[in-house]
Amino acid sequence: MNISILQGAFLPVPPKRGGAIEKSWQALGEAFVRAGHHVSHFSRLCDDLPKQEIINGVHHFRIKGSEATTNPILLKLREFAYVLRAREILPKADILVTHAFWAPLILNKERFGKIYVHVGRYPKGQLRLYGKASRLQVPSQSIAEAAASELGDGLNRVCTLPYPLPFPMPVVPAVLERPKRVLYVGRIHPEKGVLSLVKAWKGLPGILQDKWTLRLIGPWKEEQGGGGPSFLKQVKEESGKSVEILEPIFDQNLLSEQYKQSQVFAYPSEAVRGETFGLAVLEAMSHGCVPIVSSLACFSDFIKSGKNGISMEPSVHSRSLELQKCLKLLLIGGEITNLSQNALKTAEDYTIDKVAKLFLEDFNRVLNR
């Protein structure tokens, strides 16, 4: 099978600037090659990456892209130009995987392959425009339901397949042998619940703040998807003692070390129409971290509260108080060991070769339809 993967205009592959979608599809492309298929991967040209190279059997092509912007109209215009440039070099293929907004509108499926749209963001009306797409692949059941409600033909073309772990299951120390650390990895942005997290931490008993550390890692600059310097300042001002704020880490090996040196992973996202899966949570679970997540529906596909993590109850009071309650539950002698072991078992279902097999089976269904 000849498979093309067309990423968006704003991030490179390998994901030197981060990006869950870019990270996942690089790993999937390499898994497709291991399974005997030919893969061409198209992404942004930047950061001294060559225009072409082969990485682990995948032929990478890089196209002039752009910096992201908070202006949605300008963002779409920049990606439109990028997809036009991609159209000039895309090869004939059986399957064209893409999450670029314009690709399903302006690319020809007879020429470039059956259009397989990865819906990596909450649907906002665009799916009705994708009549040429043979498949709309979503990463969680909640997004499948949102997609079905947006489409006239319901779930006909929708398929739910998760993000994979973009690395093999790591060897990790037992959870109680690690520093007493709660970790957050993600964008430092209001919609991620970061402010609720630091407020919750600030309200913990002093004895817990003396024993435990809260570490926040992620991009805060607006051009990287963060909340900007004013929000970062607000987070720092609200932080209690024993809170550490680190610059983003995009190197997977370095990030893995952060997971290995943490017992709990907090991801209290408030993005009701922003989260589609939560790959960072799954990555943390694969390292034995016990996750605390908000009650967003997308997390329920792989987190069973009280078994392999903690899901916050929808609070009638304040999110920070509910989060504080969950933190206390774990930090004051909670069942961290059992939760950690179950988190590891859950993550094993999302290894790259298992998930890649599911995608290849769906590609065949699309081709044989």
pTM beyond 0.85, yes or no: yes
CB atoms within 10 A of CB 166: 23
Q: Are 160 and 144 in contact (CB under 8 A)?
A: yes
In DSSP notation, 203-221 reads TS-HHHHHH-EEEEES--S
Residue 196 has pLDDT above 90, yes or no: yes
The overall average pLDDT reported for the chain is 94
Q: Are 179 and 305 part of one and the same domain?
A: yes
Q: Are 141 and 198 part of one and the same domain?
A: no
Q: Are 112 and 182 part of one and the same domain?
A: no
Q: Are 309 and 239 part of one and the same domain?
A: yes
Q: Are 136 and 284 part of one and the same domain?
A: no
Q: Are 30 and 118 part of one and the same domain?
A: yes
List, for residues 69-106, the tens digit of each pLDDT value.
889 899 999 999 999 999 999 999 999 999 999 999 99
Q: Are 158 and 210 part of one and the same domain?
A: no
Place of tokens 């999937």: 28
- Give the pLDDT mean for 269-296: 92
Q: Are 228 and 111 part of one and the same domain?
A: no
* Domain boundaries, position 130: 2-166+351-368
Residue 15 has pLDDT above 70, yes or no: yes
CATH of the domain at 331: 3.40.50.2000
Q: Tokens standing for 89?
A: 């070099």
Q: Are 246 and 362 part of one and the same domain?
A: no
Q: What is the pLDDT of residue 315?
A: 62
Of 170, 164, 119, which Cα lies nearest the Cα of 146?
A: 119
Q: Is 195 helix (H, G, I), strand (E, B) or coil?
A: helix
Give the pairing of strands 58-64 and 52-55.
antiparallel
Q: What is the pLDDT of residue 333?
A: 74
Q: Are 196 and 300 part of one and the same domain?
A: yes
Q: Are 138 and 237 part of one and the same domain?
A: no
Percent of the chain with pLDDT over 90: 83
In DSSP notation, 117-163 reads EE--S---SGGGG-TT-SEEEESSHHHHHHHHHHSTTTTTTEEE-PP
CB atoms within 10 A of CB 256: 17
Q: How many domains does the chain have?
A: 2
